[in-house]
Amino acid sequence: MNNAIWLCAALAWPVLAQDARQIVEESQRRGKANSQRYEGVLEVTGADSKVTRKSWQSRRLGAYGNSKAVIHFTAPAEVKGVALLVVNHPDRSSDQWMWTPAIGRDRRIALQDRSTRFFGTDFSFEDLEERDVDQYEYRLTGEEAIELAPCWRIEARPKQSKTSQYTLSRMWIRKDNYVPAQYENFVKDQPVRRLQQRDIQNVQGIWTARTLEITDLRRKSRTVLRLEKLEYNIPLKEDDFTVQALRRDQ
Amino acid sequence: MILLRLISLPYVRKHLLRSVLTTAGIVLGVALLVGMQTANRSVLRAFNDTVERIAGKAQLQVTAGDAGFSEEVLERVQSLREIRAAAPVIEAEADPGLPGQGKLLILAVDMTGDRSLRDYDFDNGDQDVIDDPLIFLAQPDSLILTREFAGRNHIAIGGKVAFDTMQGRKQFTVRGILKAGGMAQAFGGNLGIMDIYAAQNVFGRGRHFDRIDIGLQEGVSLEQGQTALSTLLGPGFTIEPPSGRGRQFESLLGVYSLAMTVSSMFALFIGMFIIYNSFAIAVTQRRSEIGILRALGATRGQIRTLFLGESAVAGLIGSAAGVALGLVFARTLTGLSATMLESMFGVAQNVGEVVVDPGFLLFAMAMGTGTSIVAALIPARNAARIEPIQALQKGRYQVLGAGENRMRRNLALLAAALAVVCLPLGAYRPLFFAGFLLTLVAGLLLTPFLSLELAKLLRRPMKWLRPVEGALAADSLIQAPRRTSATVAALMLSLALVVGQGGVARASLQSVDEWITTTLNPDMFISTTENIASHGARFPAGMQQELESVPGVAEIQPVRMPRLQFHGFPVMLVSTELAKMGRRVKRHMISGDEESMNRLASQEKGVILSENLAALVKLRLGDTVELATPAGMLRLPVVGTIRDLSNQMGTIFLERSAYVRYFQDDTVDVFRVYLKPGASPEEVRGQIVGRLGRQRRMFVMLNRDVRAYVAKVMDQWFGLTYIQVIVAMLVAILGIVNTLTVSISDRRRELGVLRAVGGLRSQIRGTVWMEAAAIGIIGLVLGIATGAIMLYYELQAIQHDISGMPFAYEFPWGIVAMLVPVILFAALGAAILPAESAVRGSLVEALEYE
């Protein structure tokens, strides 16, 4: 009897694996937009419960492995004008540059520095990358409800070609709208960051989480990002997503 | 042990003063050894400690000498798969102008990635600020201080610290405070951290980094990392573990450390003669005691062991006291050393505390005790040889036996002859140093004989000066040459050291003066620091045009002078517009033709070497110089060698355009400014400061200011001579007090008789004083003569073994003129107590003596 169960499980495995990738692909297909723009409000709550706030304006052209994004900080006054350019690639890690207007300099964020925190938030630089579906191996490990919404639980491991601080990402994708409800990122089998996506709304036909809460499980601090004035498929120019544009815009 | 307790202890108690003075020789020697070496080690340790703490988890560091390298190197390094983390760094000193706080070492890093190599342990409370690198990066005035520095200066988060930058004096906002410990202890806690891209502007680095700190991937060995980086970057880059910087610093300080070591070892050597003198005297004084012991059955071995045991105990006590005193010296010397090193090499040091190395202290104890035992070997042997019957024959032992005298003279002549033979064979360096040693040995062997002869020569003038006192004093010396000779030898050696060192100082000063007159001839110099040797901050190349537009300015020569390793020596690479310099500066040519040298070098067809570097690395006219640069190997022929004293280890002159191209660095350390005829230097300085002073950190120094600066540096360097003069004085005092105490003790009856037959106290006092003066004069004559020979050897060693600088032999008459009164004064001062003891003793007791 036991042997029969194992046999069934073994035969079912390729099907489940296929399903996992299909689910992620479907999730990405449903969330895909040619461009995106929003104003983000960040609230970082430190382990000592001290709260700091920042806001930025985000523009993105393209989607997933072929996208480019620029984040311009707008508040507080000390950081206004600081910008980050992220150029995602389908086959490798993204390139990132930071622009600091006060010294008129851009700096490249090295690949090896992607695991560091993104400017005091609980996101890392890597968390700002958009993941191409081909850069990971997927496995459906079960089903589980997140905030009462039934979800598929899928594990994603980066392929060898992908440089990532995470050895494993576990994601929960809602069955009703294919929006990821939660991610848990692991380093050497230890969970280090948890991202919860809430307040899911349909914006221009795309189901989108308007509130992202990321928790640094080691530091015990959390960052909440609220997406305001969110728009999809707006006209954006390719030229605005270059290092030269960062310099020019100041 | 029993003999030590029953025989030695009562003797020490009876002659407490002399025992203390004997031990003082070792105390002094060990104290100087410990003081100088500990100071030196503290400075080195402070540097290494700073390097280590700042390096964090970096396993390798990529540098290209002082020149730094272009930013693009970072991306190339980061692309290597062997590299886990590569963090760019700029290091520079800044003077916040806080009274008594010294300089801040600014460590400029890229906070977005630097934490993978360094732990930034911040104080609680500012977590939201500093843990948010965004504000830190967005605001170029951001600065992190250590808790120690902030606490000392009552600076809190949000507080301001100002220092001069290449954009004028600027205020920086403290946005983080590092917890004590770890990196925060680097540079004695005077550490500031800022953003590297802000620092490029602040310190005028352009788009350059000073170095890249490297963390390797797991499983990649240091060798594999080094190989991968070397292959990627080429020979112009140095890839070493952080400890390599410590070694470079040590090689930079090589000459200084050598001078410190030689001086301290010499002090110990001199101490040996004081011990020898005391034990030689003790043996003669205790002859009857030794005779009785021998008569009672004590073996020669037991007598020898008794004296060696005494010397070991004296050495141990003296060494312990010397170590304690040395640590006190070290506190003062450490500060002096750090100041001097900053002036000479531009390497600022913040030596927070004296580093005590227990191993070295044990070594110093062993050296002191060993020296004491070695010094007592001959007296102990002599004591063991005394026959009981001989012990009753008072007086005979003080006279040098004709046979002994002859043997010494013959040995001395042999040593001198061998030393002369070694002279023409000096190219083989071991023979040169053997010759030096043989000269010293000859001098020491001849000391008793020469002392005796000089005492005989002095008798006539002393008698003429004071018939009774002079004759008595001279006779005392003539009758007991052994009592005097060791003191004279100690005095001779210490004075020879002073004369030798003074001679080197004088020769250097003359060469420096000639060099300053011919080379440092611009009307003014513009530097980023008041210390020309320090290149922490640099000017942008564009400043040349701004300066040229100042009314009254005729010509500007931009100079960049980084240090780099060449054939294992830390040499200085001077890059400037050589055609311009050639027109303004008349060079002291060593080889080559000046006109063609300037022409070829300015056309990038060759380099010019300083004479000392050419000698050190054995390069001649036409030979190829290979310089590893960030842009690849630069190979150019030597088109001339000149006398240049810019750097102790030598200088390479390279046309500026070639430097800019190969080192990808167009910054400037110093602008040499020539004025139009009739222009007032003060007025032009005012104009320059008025136009550019607010925008940039700059020091406009007139020619006389630079000359004064160089003179100050030379003074600091030769400050060592003054320490040696003090040692010579102390040696003179110790030795003379010792000798006179024994002399008076030996002559108590003689002096008593003199007083009984009507001799005045003043006459006895005068006798003692004249004896002291005579010892001083004999020591001076022999010391000056030995010093004159030593100076020759020192100058040869400097030229061929140390820095390659060929200084002309110049006898230091000035130092000698200073030494004569100092030593005579010290001798007379040393005679005061013994003289008073001679006149105050009981007449009855004196007559009962024996």
Assembly ipTM = 0.78
What phi, psi does B381 have (nearest 5°)?
Answer: -65, -45
- Which CATH number does the domain housing residue A212 bear? 2.50.20.10
At residue B137, the pLDDT reads: 85
* Average pLDDT of every residue of chain B: 82
Look at B131 and A78 and tell me if their CB atoms are within 8 Å: no
Residue B589 falls within a domain, yes or no?
A: yes
At residue B809, the pLDDT reads: 86
β-bridge mates for residue B163, sequence order: B170
Reference A45, options A214, A222, A211; nearest CA is A222
β-bridge mates for residue B66, sequence order: B64
Residue B431 falls within a domain, yes or no?
A: no
Query: At which of B714, B739, B772 does a domain end?
Result: B714
At residue B128, the pLDDT reads: 41
Residue B32 falls within a domain, yes or no?
A: no
Look at A120 and B198 and tell me if their CB atoms are within 8 Å: no
Span B766-795, average pLDDT:
90
Domain span including residue A195: 2-248
Residue A184 Cα, gap to closest chain B Cα (Å): 23
DSSP three-state, residue B491: helix
Domain span including residue B565: 521-714
Span B255-262, average pLDDT:
70
Residue among A50, A103, A110 whose CB faces B201 most closely: A103
Q: How far apart are CA B646 and CA B643, in angstroms?
A: 10
Residue B14 falls within a domain, yes or no?
A: no
Report for A9-13, B149-153, B673-677: range of highest mean pLDDT: B673-677
Interface of A with B (CB under 8 A): 44, 46, 48, 50, 52, 54, 73, 76, 78-79, 81-82, 98, 100-103, 105, 107-113, 115-117, 119-120, 125
Residue A155 Cα, gap to closest chain B Cα (Å): 26
At residue B129, the pLDDT reads: 42
Look at A107 and B201 and tell me if their CB atoms are within 8 Å: no
At residue A157, the pLDDT reads: 92
What phi, psi does B219 have (nearest 5°)?
Answer: 90, -10
Residue B272 falls within a domain, yes or no?
A: no
Q: How many distinct structural domains can be found in chain A?
A: 1
Contacts of the segment A112-116: beta carbons below 8 A, 24+ positions apart: A112/B78, A112/B83, A112/B84, A112/B85, A112/B86, A112/B113, A112/B116, A113/B85, A113/B112, A113/B113, A113/B116, A114/A163, A114/A165, A115/A165, A115/B116, A116/B112, A116/B113, A116/B115, A116/B116
Residue B569 falls within a domain, yes or no?
A: yes
Q: How many distinct structural domains can be found in chain B?
A: 2
Which residue of chain B is at minimal alpha-carbon distance from A84?
B134
Which residue of chain A is at minimal alpha-carbon distance from B195?
A103
Within an 8 Å CB–CB cutoff, is residue B119 touching chain A?
no
* Length reported for chain A: 250
Counting one residue from chain A and one from chain B, the pairs whose CB atoms sit within 8 A come to: 82
Which portions of chain A are predicted below pLDDT 50? 1-17
pLDDT at B19 over 80: no
Look at A50 and B134 and tell me if their CB atoms are within 8 Å: no
Span B112-131, average pLDDT:
62
At residue B577, the pLDDT reads: 94
Question: Looking at A112-126, A194-208, B611-625, B654-668, which range is the least confident one?
Answer: A112-126
Look at A46 and B110 and tell me if their CB atoms are within 8 Å: no
Residue B564 falls within a domain, yes or no?
A: yes
Query: At which of B694, B714, B734 does a domain end?
Result: B714
A12 vs B169, residue with greater confidence: B169
Q: How confident is the model at residue B221 (pLDDT cuts 50, 70, 90)?
A: very high
Residue B480 falls within a domain, yes or no?
A: no
Question: Mutate which of A56, A86, A106, A108 to disrupt the B interface (most B C-beta within 10 Å)?
Answer: A108
At residue A215, the pLDDT reads: 94
Percent of chain B whose predicted confidence (pLDDT) is above 90: 21
β-bridge mates for residue B557, sequence order: B672
Q: How far apart are CA B41 and CA B548, in angstroms?
A: 46
